[in-house]
Amino acid sequence: MLDNPTLNQNPIKINRALISVFNKTSILELAQTLHELGIEILSTGGTAKTLRDANIPVTDLSGYTQFPEIMDGRVKTISPLVEGGILGLRDKHSNDAESNQIQWIDLVVCNLYPFSETISREDCDLALALENVDIGGATMIRSAAKNVGWACAVVDPADYSTIIDELKSNGELSFKTRKQLSTKSFGHTAKYDAIIHNYLKDEILSEDFSITFEKHSEMRYGENPHQSAASYKVPGNEERNILNATIHQGKKLSYNNIMDADGALACVREFEQPACVVIKHSNPCGVAVGNDLLDVYTRAFNADSLSAFGGIIAFNRTCSRAVAEAIISVFMEIVLAPSFEPEALEIFKKKKNLRVLEIGKFGKRTKKLEVRNVDGGLLVQDVDTKILTKEDLTVVTEKQPTDAEIDTALFTWKVLRHAKSNGILIAKDNTTVGIGAGQVSRVDAV
């Protein structure tokens, strides 16, 4: 390690590139450009085959290092000839490189095995997960990202056009570009390691806590117009949610839309019976369950039709034509459901500003964490998913409730979980009559 390191910030010429990618999007265009510019391309396994099939000359890395790929491909890029070629400082280590027959590798194009996609598979076990942990690729990326003065790491196909344009225009890569891509590369490997760590650890609330997300979309503003905002999603998460819903029509979802729609989805998922939830400002204002979805919607909406105006409607069953006809008679922001009858979608087109979200099959709820920011840190708890049953209730009055009244009581607890505390709820026949959320006084709330 150097005591007084310096950093080259001049443009660098690319003479040799190493390409080893799992995601081969746009790789042929980049490789073809490198070849046309006279840049030697080193590659491995499937990537080398892809390039050769496109008639792009490539040097096998095993031929370059004079060491074969071994152990079912587990060892193919880890070599002093590779890491030295990437990490060496051109103005200080030339003698070391020459004496050890190391040639400089100026550009590393690499992305990693899809670990997050692997662990989302139903058949994934520990052995399969570990088999999809990328070692060599992460090492090359970090090496090139560290040696930003003399090398460039590229992990995202979206950045290939930047490399192509700059090399075609200038014949070199600027330090500004190398620095930007170095930062992105370290973020790429950091996210990758965090996903692996979270998968392997046994305790949810462990001694150290790391979370990683990837940007889903930019937003015009946050909760208020003066706040900037963006949405982020969990990598590889296949569970049905608002962020991966199909939006059939309507404007792009805002910050508040997503917050409210997420609350509506969380509430309606509580019920096994056909259910309808109407949400306003993240709080339920009308909820009902029953056998007929149109009847359920009518009861939920009429529970507080004034508050429901401009709100969000959520169903846990396919939205039918009849239900759609009823919905378009009033102004609503969003309607969401697992699916929609084609006729219902046609009816919704009459309200072009109505956002229609198809969530897909809900599936089983998985254990999640609830995270809140506080100054200096985070508060973390597991999400409240406890299901109350008749056996959890104790009758403390002389009058014994009927089975129907007990069913309604259990219904109210499911709804009240989604109202801000202190929450007060009155219901009858599995329909909310009144919901008071965020009441500061328990005594005066009712």
Q: For residue range 303-339, what is the model confidence (pLDDT) as tens digits?
A: 999 999 999 999 999 999 999 999 999 999 999 999 9
Mind giving me the DSSP string for 229-278? EEEEE-TT--S--STT-EEEESSPPPHHHHHHHHHHHHHHTT-SS-EEEE
In a domain, 26, yes or no: yes
Q: Among 146, 179, 201, 414, which one carries the catalytic annotation?
A: 146
Asked if residue 402 has pLDDT above 70, the reply is yes
In a domain, 209, yes or no: no
DSSP 70: B
Instruction: Clarify whether residues 49 and 187 are in a common domain.
Output: yes
Which range, of 102-111, 124-133, 364-373, averages the lowest pLDDT? 364-373
Residue 176 is among the residues annotated as catalytic for this protein = no
Q: Among 24, 179, 248, 281, which one carries the catalytic annotation?
A: 281
Amino acid at 266: A
Which range, of 163-167, 199-203, 224-228, 241-245, averages the lowest pLDDT? 199-203
**Long-range contacts (CB closer than 8 Å, 24 or more residues apart) made by 75-78:** 75/136, 76/44, 76/45, 76/136, 77/18, 77/20, 77/44, 77/136, 77/137, 77/139, 77/140, 78/135, 78/136, 78/139
Instruction: Clarify whether residues 405 and 271 are in a common domain.
Output: no
Asked if residue 264 has pLDDT above 90, the reply is yes
In a domain, 303, yes or no: yes
Asked if residue 369 has pLDDT above 70, the reply is yes
Estimate to the nearest angstrom the gap between the alpha carbon of 319 and the chain centroid. 27
pLDDT at 73: 67
Instruction: Clarify whether residues 344 and 436 are in a common domain.
Output: no
- Give the residue-averaged pLDDT of 266-292: 94
Task: Give the percent of the chain with pLDDT over 90.
Answer: 58
Q: Which residue has the higher pLDDT, 234 or 247?
A: 247
Query: Could you give the number of structural domains in the chain?
Result: 3
How many angstroms separate the CA atoms of 336 and 329, rounded? 17
In a domain, 335, yes or no: yes
Q: Which residue has the higher pLDDT, 211 or 284?
A: 284
Instruction: Clarify whether residues 292 and 397 are in a common domain.
Output: no
Instruction: Clarify whether residues 420 and 327 are in a common domain.
Output: no
Please choose, from the candidates 344, 256, 255, the residue with its C-alpha nearest in 3D space to the C-alpha of residue 297.
Answer: 344
Summarize pLDDT for 136-167 with one digit per residue, the tens: 889 999 999 999 999 999 999 999 999 999 99
Estimate to the nearest angstrom the gap between the alpha carbon of 116 and the chain centroid. 10
| DSSP H or E run through 152 | strand 152-154
pLDDT at 366: 63
Please choose, from the candidates 289, 179, 194, 266, the residue with its C-alpha nearest in 3D space to the C-alpha of residue 236.
Answer: 194
In a domain, 380, yes or no: no
Asked if residue 22 has pLDDT above 70, the reply is yes
Q: The domain that contains 44 carries what CATH number? A: 3.40.50.1380
Summarize pLDDT for 110-136 with one digit per residue, the tens: 998 888 888 888 888 889 888 888 888
pTM above 0.85, yes or no: no
pLDDT at 437: 81
Averaged pLDDT score across all residues of the chain = 89
Asked if residue 214 has pLDDT above 90, the reply is no
Residue 197 is among the residues annotated as catalytic for this protein = no
Amino acid at 208: D
Instruction: Clarify whether residues 241 and 311 are in a common domain.
Output: yes
Asked if residue 398 has pLDDT above 80, the reply is yes
DSSP 67: -
Q: Which of 200, 215, 247 is the last residue of a domain?
A: 200
Q: ∠ at Cα 358 (357, 359), nearest 5°?
A: 105
Task: Give the percent of the chain with pLDDT over 70.
Answer: 96
Strand partners, 214: 233
In a domain, 171, yes or no: yes
Q: Which residue has the higher pLDDT, 366 or 57?
A: 57
Instruction: Clarify whether residues 144 and 253 are in a common domain.
Output: no
Show the domain range for 429: 385-445
How many angstroms separate the CA atoms of 406 and 392, rounded? 11
Instruction: Clarify whether residues 354 and 389 are in a common domain.
Output: no
Mind giving me the DSSP string for 376-426? TEEEEEE-------GGG----SSSPPPHHHHHHHHHHHHHHTTSPSS-EEE
Contacts of 384 (CB under 8 A, 6+ apart): 417
SS3 97: helix
51 and 28 Cβ atoms separated by less than 8 Å: yes
Q: Which residue has the higher pLDDT, 239 or 274?
A: 274
pLDDT at 279: 94
Q: The domain that contains 403 carries what CATH number? A: 3.40.140.20
